[in-house]
Amino acid sequence: MNIWTVANQKGGVGKTTTTVTLGGLLAERGYNVLLIDTDPHASLTYYFGIDSEELELSVYELFVRGKQISREEILQSLCPSGLERLDILPATMALATLDRAMGNKSGMGLILQKAIEKISKDYDYVILDCPPVLGALMVNAIAACQRLLIPVQTEFLALKGLDRMLKTMDLMQTSQVKHYRYTIIPTMYDKRTKASLQTYKQLMELYSDQVWAGVIPEDTKFRDASLAQQPPSVFSPRSRGVFAYNTLLTYLMSEVVSE
């Protein structure tokens, strides 16, 4: 099982779009994929038209039950996405209370990791969508992953958010005694704007080894796909945005093979 976490402490950089599009493409390539929503705003969950407030089980139960939760219970929490081989573990608003409830109890940042281990035979890929806030949920999502995907909007304020994200990862590496592999993904790239060009240039200068060489372009099809509650690869498979994500996925998977 491959576990990727899509994270950035800055909001609006394309985390959910990246999660859904990569998940959809992987499912289309024949892999069993689980998308986990760890954001109390439940953007990923709502993307697929799931009203998690009406569900009995969600990712919240994973945290409440902790180690006690069984594989069967986790599988019962899953929702279909409408696309074959693509499932969703939905988020609820109640997740927002977890930081207060869990405090900084020992090992509480590893709950998701342990839960995912229980379903390791059921999926080929798990992709976690993070909230844009550093807290127990983000820590859990990052701690669980083998690879961190950091979408960075190609605009002026993006680098500061990236810097904080990398610092968080750095601190977590020390705490967890684990080396995170990460890939920075330039998103919302618009070659007509100075901001995109300059930010991309800066990204390559500062983090060249970790930056995916391509870019995810601005594409209205992403918004249209979310309105249709479909992965972009289903809604508009020939769009330039989906083409870019397909290229990214090939790159990420070639790295998986080489690992």
Partner 1 sequence: MSKSGFASEKVMRSYLDALLIEEDEQQALAQPDEAELRPVARLLEKVNVIEQPARAAPSKELQAKAVEKTKARVVTPVAAPISTSVVAPRMANKIAPPPKAVVEEKEYRKGDFQALFFDVAGLMVAVPLTELGGIHNMGKLNTLIGKPDWFMGVMVHRENKLSIVNTAKWVMPEKYDDTLENNLEYQYIIMLDNSSWGLACEKLVNTVTLSQDDVKWREHSGRRPWLAGLIKERMCALLDVSALIKLFEQGQSSLEDMLSVE
Residues near partner 1 (CB under 8 A) = 104-110, 136, 139-140, 143, 163-164, 166-177, 179, 206
Cβ at position 108, least distance to partner 1 in Å: 5
Q: Closer to partner 1 at the Cβ: 32 or 210?
A: 210
Instruction: Write a three-state SS string for 11-57.
Output: CCCCHHHHHHHHHHHHHHCCCCEEEEECCCCCHHHHHCCCCHHHCCC
At 2, which helix (H) or strand (E)?
strand 2-6
Q: Closer to partner 1 at the Cβ: 163 or 255?
A: 163
Cβ at position 32, least distance to partner 1 in Å: 27
Cβ at position 139, least distance to partner 1 in Å: 5
Question: Is residue 147 within 8 Å of 24, Cβ to Cβ?
Answer: no
Q: Closer to partner 1 at the Cβ: 94 or 108?
A: 108
Q: How many Å apart are CA 131 and CA 122, to the nearest integer?
A: 25
Q: Closer to partner 1 at the Cβ: 206 or 213?
A: 206
Q: Closer to partner 1 at the Cβ: 159 or 228?
A: 159
Cβ at position 174, least distance to partner 1 in Å: 5
At 183, which helix (H) or strand (E)?
strand 181-187
Question: Is residue 30 within 8 Å of 76, Cβ to Cβ?
Answer: no
Cβ at position 251, least distance to partner 1 in Å: 21
Q: Closer to partner 1 at the Cβ: 38 or 43?
A: 38
Cβ at position 146, least distance to partner 1 in Å: 16
Q: Closer to partner 1 at the Cβ: 169 or 204?
A: 169
Signed CA dihedral, 177, 8, 151, 128: sign only: positive
Signed CA dihedral, 199, 204, 208, 211: sign only: positive
At 4, which helix (H) or strand (E)?
strand 2-6
Q: How many Å apart are CA 179 and CA 181, to the nearest integer?
A: 6
Q: What is the CA radius of gyration of the chain?
A: 17
Q: How many Å apart are CA 141 and CA 156, to the nearest integer?
A: 27
- Give all strands of the β-sheet with 147-153 in edge-to-edge order: 79-80, 86-89, 33-37, 125-129, 2-6, 147-153, 181-187
Cβ at position 246, least distance to partner 1 in Å: 29
